[in-house]
Amino acid sequence: MYEAQKDRYDNMMYRRAGRSGLVLSALSLGFWHNFGANGDYGEMKRMVYTAFDNGIMSFDLANNYGPPGGEAELNFGRIFKDGLRSYRDEIVISTKAGYQMWPGPSGKGGGRKHLLASLDQSLERMGLDHVDIYYHHCPDPETPLEETVDALCDAVRSGKTRYVALSKYSADETRKAYDLFKEYGIHPVLNQVRYSILNRESDKDNLFLTLNGLGMGAAIFSPLAQGLLTDKYLSGEVPVASRAHENVYLKESDITAGLLARLEELRKIASLRGQSLAEMAIAFALSQRSVTTVLVGARNTEQLLENIRTLETDLNFTSEEVDEILSYA
């Protein structure tokens, strides 16, 4: 029977989600791509237990995570039942809905039917009576935002989620949603944002400044840019166990000589800071204004521990370092 380490909270950083009362670990374990049907359940369990033993108490899921969709929630539910149930009040569990999950027009979107049905399905898969955060996974321009917000507020009032949040909403979309939530007396706590040294679209949108002004936090995903901001591609070879080799979310053709040259310069900056390239990338994400947590999606326990070791390194950047990093980004 799993028993968590007694000193699990000693070395992790914790941050408040905006101006809410919700606190998350600075690193969250993401279940996007490594907890599906083809994964090793024993390794999944080791990753979850290792995360919790090291103070990671926030676990990020979605209805369509796997593959196939739903499988990550099923596996998390098994792990929860096997060893985490007695720690339920210590951990923050989030899930999402919005992308296509089942056949037909109600299988996706921001409509009431999809959002509330998907939440019921997610709770059943995980064996829970509530989640802590329920996200709308992506904006739905075909559904009135009022309906989406109304459905999310009903999810809170039903007791099936403690908080609601947004994902991939622009600054303008976030402001509009926030104003609608205010009418119900409910405050969205987070916006989940793709952000890394190599992808800073949110800076152009002033999203972090907007979140700060609204009292919301940011949950960053893909801080390592699908593995580009690690050492695995610096040799110019594409490892078999890599996203680029799978040619799905990252393609081999993306690994150009120009990109490799930029990555090598970034690695040199990281080395001068006493960090690996991956550690610097995670630290850079954590250093952004309004960031509550950074999601890490490790393939195995060793990668997870490497990510956690970032917190033992320098998380601050001088303006000169930032300028130099951005010159190669």
**Which homologous superfamily does the CATH classification assign to the domain defined by 14-228+282-314?**
NADP-dependent oxidoreductase domain (3.20.20.100)
* Antiparallel, parallel or unpaired: β 190-194 and 161-167: parallel
Every domain of the chain and the residues it spans? 14-228+282-314
pLDDT at 233 over 90: no
pLDDT at 240 over 60: no
Regarding pTM above 0.85, the answer is: yes
pLDDT at 119 over 90: yes
What is the pLDDT, as a whole number, of residue 313? 97
Task: Please write the tens of the pLDDT for every residue from 151-200.
Answer: 999 999 999 999 999 999 999 999 999 999 999 999 999 999 999 999 99
pLDDT at 247 over 70: no
Q: Residue 307: name the closest of 286, 288, 282 by CA.
A: 282
Three-class DSSP labels, the chain: CCCCCCCCCCCCCEEECCCCCCEEECEEEECCCCCCCCCCHHHHHHHHHHHHHCCCCEEECCCCCCCCCCHHHHHHHHHHHHHHHHHHHHCEEEEEECCCCCCCHHHCCCCHHHHHHHHHHHHHHHCCCCEEEEEECCCCCCCCHHHHHHHHHHHHHCCCEEEEEEECCCHHHHHHHHHHHHHCCCCCCEEEEECECCECHHHHCCHHHHHHHHCCEEEEECCCHHHCCCCCCCCCCCCCCCHHHHCCCCCHHHCCHHHHHHHHHHHHHHHHCCCCHHHHHHHHHHCCCCEEEEEECCCCHHHHHHHHHHHHCCCCCCHHHHHHHHHHC
CA 204 to chain centroid, in Å, comes to 21
Write phi, then psi, for 43 (nearest 5 degrees): -70, -40
Task: Please write the tens of the pLDDT for every residue from 25-84.
Answer: 999 999 999 999 999 999 999 999 999 999 999 999 999 999 999 999 999 999 999 999
HSE-CB at 57 with a 13 A cutoff on CA atoms is 23
Mean pLDDT, the chain, rounded, equals: 95
Identify the band that residue 245 occupies on the pLDDT scale cut at 50, 70 and 90: very low
Write phi, then psi, for 217 (nearest 5 degrees): -100, 170
Identify which has the larger pLDDT, 233 or 320: 320
What is the pLDDT, as a whole number, of residue 292? 98
Task: Please write the tens of the pLDDT for every residue from 206-217.
Answer: 999 999 999 999
